[in-house]
Amino acid sequence: MEIASKYSPNATEDKWYKYWMDKGFFKSEPDEREPYTIVIPPPNVTGVLHMGHMLNNTIQDILIRRARMMGKNACWVPGTDHASIATEAKVVNRLKTQGIDKADLSRDEFLNHAWAWTEEHGGIILEQLKKLGASCDWDRTCFTLDEPRSKAVIDTFVTLYEKGLIYRGIRMVNWDPEALTAVSDEEVVYKEVHSKLYYLNYKIEGSEDEFVTIATTRPETILGDTAVCINPNDERFAHLRGKRVLVPLVNRSIPIIEDEYVDMEFGTGCLKITPAHDINDYEIGMRHNLESIDILNDNGTLSEKAELFVGKDRFVVREEIVPELEKAGNLLKVENYDNKVGCSERTGAVIEPKLSTQWFLKMSDMAKVALDAVMNDEVKFHPAKFKNVYRHWMENVKDWCISRQLYWGHRIPVFYLESGEFFVASTIEDAVEKAKTATGNSALTVADLTQEEDVLDTWASSWLWPMSVFDQNNEVDYYYPTNDLVTGHDIIFFWVARMIMAGYEFKGTFPFRNVYFTGMVRDKQGRKMSKQLGNSPDPLDLMATYGADGVRVGMLLCSPAGGDLLFDESLPEQGRNFANKIWNAFRLVKGWEINNSIEQPEYVKQAISWFDAKLDQTIEIVNDHFSKYRISDALMTVYTVFWQEFSSWYLEAIKPAYQQPLDGATYKATVEFFDKMLRLLHPFMPFLTEEIWQTLEDRKEGESIMVSDMPVAKPLNADLLDKFEIMKEAVGGIRTIRKEKNIPMKDALNLDVLGGENYAADFDAVLVKMANIREMTMVSEKTEGAVSFMARTNEYFVPMDGMIDVEAELEKLRKELAHQQGFLNGVMKKLSNERFVGSAPEAVVAKERQKQADAEAKIKTLTESIARLEK
């Protein structure tokens, strides 16, 4: 059979993905097996695949494929998120390019555009995930805004309201003047900006030339000032107590109040108070019963209440008010000042703290339960360091503003009578019934009720995701709680924390057992990959170039849980090279001519016994890594074993001479080993392993490596493995001599071994083959005229017919002797310390004594060899 010398992924990937889909291997139905469930972090419905998705979904696919091969009923539920504000912003922008203003559209008209956009772009990202090999049960694809999910969201709102956990109130919220909606605290990103600090003089009422000076970065807000505040402990301003000042330009009289909030060190120690436009000022205003003057319109322009600059944008006013203040003699000085400004995560607009009527969800009780669950490891975080981050947030959690002034989302199920009285119900019909009962007016109809205009925050649907994606009657008890959640640590508060809260609140138990946090994917310079920077490669291009398996391996090779991944094209390249390495090992094995009449050589028997044990050890190590969610380490283990141990040692050891046939027993054993290696690799490299597995042996229609069993380890033969390592050292020693003496590999050498009583000959035949030894002799005395080296306590001699460079040999031996003596000194220092021998565990002391014995034996051998050469 002719097999190409390079693996070509493009030809095989689509073929096997289709095969898996056709055979229904991704599907899951409840049965008697133990379930293993993952729900996908739903990407934005109109989003495109980026490197973060690649990493995240590769890890999920590895976990789900492995669970499937371990006999679990593996169910990976895919889906998308309607992403309320993000999608609405995109639709608004598109309408703008068509010359349509959102404000001119009715709610229904806008929603028609939004659905059209969703149908046009929705689900592309899921198709892209298929290229990656994602083994999701696609029949289960959910959307946060589809019927069942919407029902769950609405019912949940009603339930929470009836429990008294949802309330409506006027609060200071983060207002996005561009999207014209409130956003949650988590949707505000703080950006460092260079701004200015303005020192303004406020004239003291009733005096001619007395002033107080305040410092502010926002001079335009003075028009909404309702007080000036000083710290009661600040003696500098004791004379101001009880006085009033005049707001510059408008000459409104406001009081001087005292509050310990004021930082005496900052600015001038005097603070202007604008309760309508700053959260801290708002709180101070509440404490002191101050009036609140809202000088801003929803779009960020100044309102009538400002009296001046009405209708102009706040940033324009900031420019224009300064010369006015200067003219009026109120501007003392201006300093440069760096501060952080809150911006909308979605629109980028500078957020304005604003008083408005919103719906809130009480968090404190739910947060406590969810905090405990994580702190006592009922829900485990990987890595655990995120527990601290989580705790800090949960202990300071504030009520969740769940209303948004948008169209695209779940409309809040609150229905108002004209009187303002409202009723919360899943449907308007239920609301009518409630209204009838409450008012005693049985003539009420749906026409008398108006539904709340606001929609719910997008996370109010995502937080139900692990339960809402399952059939509530037949399935949810089987699949829920899910097993593992894989997500970026950037949404630990948005999403992870809230899912945990929802899990306990509605299901009485955690939504998932483990959370695996991935890091951010960054470029070589450490910048987060983003569309704006244009520093993110297109995942589809990458997969076309390096193969999906190559990209998967590349991403995994250096991405520990929670650690950022510095992505560079050398990574998928390495993955591609590994795929090719496996491919060529396959070529080698399939290329051998098999002859069942040949006897199995001794060196092959030895190699098989060793690699059999090596595989057991590998399986155990991989299992251990997975149990700790060290997925990169698990991959690296298989990677190294395949490349170093299987290819470079095992295959080289059993390889027959050029164009010679291989015996049947060896072929059979080798194919079995290969098969096990492939199954260990399959979760990481699904396509390549399937392609090879299908050809390695005759397979029946419908068979697949993805539904085969993960190999299980036999009890470990550690002694055997150690003996092989000694043999490797000996081969290495001989290779080094060849290099130093310039002896080509094809020239056979003789080897004398001074091994002592404990010498293990188990792998001598492999040694002879791998080092190309003509004759290997066990000797009881040092060989004269030979180059020597040691492996453990064995001494090896390669006779050189007097071609020895004595000085070079001596130098080598002395260097080794010095190292051994240094090592022994360290050991002896410990052993001669009575307190060490007395207080260290016995096993530790025994180990040190063994080290001492070995080092002493080596030193004796080296000293003798040196003495002999010095003669």
Partner RNA sequence: GGGCGAUUAGCUCAGUUGGUUUAGAGCACUUGGUUUACACCCAAGGGGUCGGGGGUUCGACUCCCUCAUCGCCCA
> Is residue 190 within the footprint of RNA (CB under 7 A)?
yes
Q: How far apart are CA 102 and CA 111, in angstroms?
A: 11
Instruction: Give the nearest distance from C-beta 570 to RNA in angstroms.
Output: 5
- Binding map of RNA across residues 597-626, x = CB under 7 A, - = no contact: ---------------------------x--
By the rule CB under 7 A, 628 interacts with RNA: yes
Question: What binding mask, one character per residue, do residues 665-704 give for RNA by CB under 7 A, x or -?
Answer: ----------------------------------------
Of the candidate residues 145, 455, 456, 585, the single one contacting RNA (CB under 7 A): 585
Kindly identify the residues of this chain, within the stretch 392-411, that bind RNA according to CB under 7 A. Answer: 392-393, 396
Tell me how far apart the alpha carbons of residues 27 and 6 are, in angstroms, rounded to a whole number: 33
Please identify, among the stretches 472-480, 503-511, 682-690, 823-831, the one whose residues bind RNA according to the rule CB under 7 A: 823-831
Residue 852 engages RNA in binding (rule: CB under 7 A)? no
Binding positions for RNA, 426-465, rule CB under 7 A: none
Strand partners, 358: 169
Q: Output the CA torsion 707→708→710→713 (10° steps).
A: 160
For RNA, the binding residues in 216-245 under the rule CB under 7 A are none
Q: Quick one: tokens of 63?
A: 């976990």
| 3-class DSSP assignment, residue 332 | strand
The H or E element spanning position 625 is: helix 602-627
Q: Which of 96, 236, 385, 860 binds RNA (CB under 7 A)?
A: 385
Instruction: Compute the least distance from the CB of residue 723 to RNA, in Å.
Output: 15
Q: Which residues pair with 342 in a beta bridge?
A: 190
Q: Which residues of 628-667 are buried (b: 16+ CB within 10 A; e: fewer)?
A: ebbbbbbbebbbebbeebbbebbbebbbbeeeeebbeebb
Question: DSSP letter at 187?
Answer: G
Least distance CB 88 / RNA (angstroms): 22
Residues 334, 364: contact at Cβ < 8 Å? Answer: no
Least distance (Å) between residue 232 CB and RNA: 20
d(CA 212, CA 228): 9
Pairing, β 794-799 against β 786-791: antiparallel
Q: Quick one: which of 820, 858, 861, 865 contacts RNA (CB under 7 A)?
A: 820
Selected binder of RNA within 426, 584, 708, 863 (CB under 7 A) = 584
**Does 194 contact RNA by CB under 7 A?**
no
- Taking the least distance from each CB to RNA, the nearer of 430 and 490 is 490
| Nearer to RNA among residue 239 and residue 847 (C-beta) | 847
User: Which residue, among 73, 84, 319, has the nearest Cα to 219 in the 3D structure?
Assistant: 319
Strands 211-216 and 227-230: unpaired
CB of 854 to RNA, least distance (A): 10
Q: Is 841 in the site for RNA (CB under 7 A)?
A: yes
Angle between helices 686-696 and 664-681 (to 10 degrees): 160
839 counts as binding RNA under rule CB under 7 A: yes
Rounded to the nearest 10°, the torsion over CA 633, 639, 642, 643 is -130
Question: Backbone phi, then psi, for 772, in 5-degree steps?
Answer: 55, 70
**What is the crossing angle of helices 548-557 and 539-546, to 10°?**
110
Task: Work out which of 13, 61, 186, 448 binds RNA, going by CB under 7 A.
Answer: 186
Position 91, amino acid: V
Which residues have C-beta within 8 Å of that of residue 639, sequence separation ≥ 6? Answer: 553, 557, 578
If the CB atoms of residues 509 and 839 are measured against RNA, the closer one turns out to be 839
Give the side-chain half-sphere CA count within 13 A for 278. Answer: 19
**Residue 169 interacts with RNA (CB under 7 A)?**
no
Dihedrals phi, psi of 273, to nearest 5 degrees? -115, 120
Quote the least distance from Cβ 546 to RNA, whole Å.
9
Site residues (CB under 7 A) for RNA, limited to 252-311 = 279
Nearest-angstrom CA–CA distance, 547 and 550:
5
Contact 80, 123 (CB under 8 A): yes
Name which of 320 and 620 has its Cβ closer to RNA. 620
Quick check: helix, strand or coil at residue 531? coil
Take residue 687 and report the two structure tokens written for it.
Answer: 């396509």
**Would you say how long the chain is, in residues?**
871
Q: Between 433 and 568, name the residue whose CB sits nearer to RNA.
A: 568
For 342, phi and psi rounded to 5 degrees? -75, 130
Residue with smaller CB distance to RNA, 303 or 584: 584
Q: How many CA atoms lie within 13 A of 306 on its CB side?
A: 22
DSSP labels, 507-552: ISS-SEEEEEEE--EE-TTSPBP-TTTT----HHHHHHHH-HHHHH
By CB under 7 A, tell whether 337 contacts RNA: no
Helix (H, G, I), strand (E, B) or coil at 753: strand
Count other Cβ atoms within 10 Å, centred on residue 752.
Answer: 20
Stretch that binds RNA, among 30-38, 443-451, 609-617, 831-839 (CB under 7 A): 831-839
Q: Which residues from 64-83 bind RNA, rule CB under 7 A?
A: none
In this structure, the strands spanning 749-754 and 773-778 are parallel
Exactly one of 497, 557, 767, 813 binds RNA (CB under 7 A); that residue is 557
Site residues for RNA, 15-44, by CB under 7 A, read none
Is residue 375 at the binding interface for RNA, with CB under 7 A as the rule? no
Asked if 819 interacts with RNA (CB under 7 A), we say: yes
One of 6, 107, 239, 241 touching RNA (CB under 7 A): 6
Other CB atoms closer than 10 Å to residue 609's CB: what's the count? Answer: 16
Tell me whether residue 303 or residue 577 sits nearer to RNA (CB atom): 577
Under the binding rule (CB under 7 A), the answer on residue 830 touching RNA is: yes
Binding-site residue total for RNA (CB under 7 A)?
73
Subset of 560-579 contacting RNA (CB under 7 A)? 560, 563-564, 566, 570, 574, 576-577, 579
Residues 511-530 that bind RNA (CB under 7 A): 526
Judged by beta carbon, residue 273 or residue 432, the one nearer RNA is 273
Contact region with RNA (CB under 7 A), list: 119-127, 270-278, 450-458, 729-737? 729-737
* Nearer CB in complex with RNA: 596/825: 825
143 versus 626: smaller Cβ distance to RNA: 626
Nearest-angstrom CA–CA distance, 804 and 807: 9
Work out how close the CB of 73 gets to RNA at its nearest, in angstroms, rounded to a whole number: 29
d(CA 220, CA 204): 20
Q: In this chain, which stretch among 312-320, 469-477, 559-567, 699-707 interacts with RNA, using CB under 7 A?
A: 559-567
Q: How far is the CB of 273 from RNA (least distance, A)?
A: 16
Which range in 24-32, 92-100, 505-513, 649-657 contacts RNA by CB under 7 A? 649-657
Among 732, 760, 828, 856, binds RNA (CB under 7 A): 732
Q: Considering only residues 481 through 500, tell me which ones interact with RNA, judged by CB under 7 A.
A: 490, 493
Residues 773-792 that bind RNA (CB under 7 A): none
The string of DSSP codes covering 795-835 is EEEEE-TT---HHHHHHHHHHHHHHHHHHHHHHHHHHT-HH
Please give the distance of CA 100 from its chain centroid, rounded to a whole number: 39
3-state secondary structure of 555: helix
Residue 364 makes contact with RNA by CB under 7 A: no
Residues 273/229, Cβ–Cβ less than 8 Å: yes
Residue 332 found at the interface with RNA (CB under 7 A): no
Instruction: Please choose, out of 51-59, 151-159, 455-463, 587-595, the segment that lies near RNA by the rule CB under 7 A.
Output: 587-595
- In the complex, least distance from residue 137 CB atom to RNA, rounded to whole angstroms: 33
Q: Please identify, using beta-carbon distances, which residue of 137 and 764 lies nearer to RNA.
A: 764
One of 93, 445, 644, 777 touching RNA (CB under 7 A): 644
Q: How far apart are CA 450 and CA 413, in angstroms?
A: 10
Question: Quick check: 825 and 849 in contact, CB under 8 A?
Answer: no
Closer residue to RNA (CB): 440 or 715: 715
